[in-house]
Structure formats: C-alpha cells, structure tokens
Amino acid sequence: MNHKLPAFGNHSITIILSLGVMILGMGFICWAMIGICAPHYFNEQAAKNHYAPSTTDTTLIETGKSMYPIYPVEGENIGKLTIPVLNKVLPIIQGTSERDLTKGAGHYSESVLPGEKDNCVISGHRDTFFSSLGDVKIGDKIIAETSAGIFNYEVTGMRIVDKDDRTVIVPTEAATLTLTTCYPFNYVGSAPNRYIVSAMLID
C-alpha cells in the first residue's frame, strides 16, 4: 500500500503564515521594549555606583551605607555653611548655575557632599555670599551642617589660581572642603582668577 504525505491546503498555508507574522511581530515588540527599558536601568545603576561609598571610607557611617541615601537635586537647599570668623551663615545650594549662586553658596555637583571623604567643592559670588572670603585665615573654623550631620573643618591654606585651573576640583585622599570665588574681589567684569580656601575635616 502506498502512503502519501498529507498535502497542505490553502487554508493551512494561511494559518502558518499568520502564525509566522504574529511571532515576528512579538519579537519586534520585545526588542523595542528592551531598547526602551535598558538605558533607564543602566543609567540608574550607574548613578547608584557613582554615589555608592567605598567600604574602606572612614568618613561614612559604620554600616557602610552612604551618608546621603538620597542624592540632592539641582537647586535644592542641602544645608548651611557657617564661617564664624566672618559672622556668616550661608545656605548651601546643590549646583553652581547662575540661578543656584543667587540663592546661596553652590555645591559643585561632581564633588562629594559635605562630610564625605574626598574633595567637597563649594562656590560663591565674590560680591555677595563670599565677599569677605579673603579675611579667612589658616586655623579658622568652617562648619557645614546637612541632613547627614554637623561637620567641622579647619582652614589649612589659601591660594589664587587662574580661572581655568582644574586642580581646584581634583579628588583628595582626606575629607576636604574647598571654597572658591572669583578674584580679585573688587574686579569689574569677568574676573581672571579664583580665590581658593582649603580646609580639612577635623570633627
């Protein structure tokens, strides 16, 4: 007896083609969803890794968790900066845009936050919040108060650098506070230099 293979009719071919198109369509949808979601996931992970503390960082709380679980957003008031010798108490604003610097001393967002190990950079205008920064001397105290606590710094030095000098924002091994403003203080127009005050965390 001869057995013939069953022949596919037009109806069967239509069903197979339809299934193929559906599977292909679902594949494109999955690929598109991966393309949309993946960048958000990796950006979030990168942000977490960027601000995650080192387990050997002695200026972080003993659990190894960051002193700032929620990183501040641009324009947010994150605390206050007290300079006793100048009798000044200044708001610390996250960011150094022109708008931020009209509200207080601006924290350079690519530097660590007050109290953390490394270089915390805070800038202010020479004709407003940091107008008398030149009167600060070695040994003077500077206090930064934020949601993470109260941090006492002692001034270790002052210097004048060119406005394009990037060494002001380089990382440091110890917990350092760097205050910057334009210089000369009485200069008219865009000042060519920056006045820098460096301080070390002592408490």
* Residue ranges of domains in the chain: 10-51, 77-201
Token code pair at residue 16? 């197979």
CA atoms within 13 A on the CB side of 71: 18
194 phi-psi bin (left φ>0, alpha ψ -120 to 50, beta other): beta
The position carrying tokens 């060494």 is 167
Q: 28: pLDDT confidence band, cut at 50, 70 and 90?
A: low
pLDDT score of 66: 77
Here the tokens at position 96 are 């150094």
Amino acid, single-letter form, for residue 46 = A
Q: Which CATH number, 2.60.40.10, 2.40.10.10, 1.10.357.10, 2.40.260.10, labels domain 77-201?
A: 2.40.260.10
CA–CA dist 166, 4 (Å, integer): 83
Nearest to 153 by CA among 141, 163, 162, 164: 141
Instruction: Convert 95-104 to b/e letters by CB count within 10 Å (16 or more is b).
Output: bbeeebbeeb
The residues with which 181 forms a beta bridge, in sequence order, are: 195
Q: What are phi and psi of 178, to 5 degrees?
A: -120, 120
CB-CB neighbours of 68 under 10 Å = 19
Residue 8 has pLDDT above 60, yes or no: no
Confidence of residue 23 (pLDDT cuts 50, 70, 90): confident
Least confident segment among 10-14, 62-66, 96-100, 116-120: 62-66
pLDDT of residue 14: 66
User: Can you tell me the distance from the alpha carbon of 174 to that of 176, in angstroms, rounded to the nearest whole number?
Assistant: 6
- pTM, entire model: 0.68
Which residues belong to the active site?
A: 125, 182
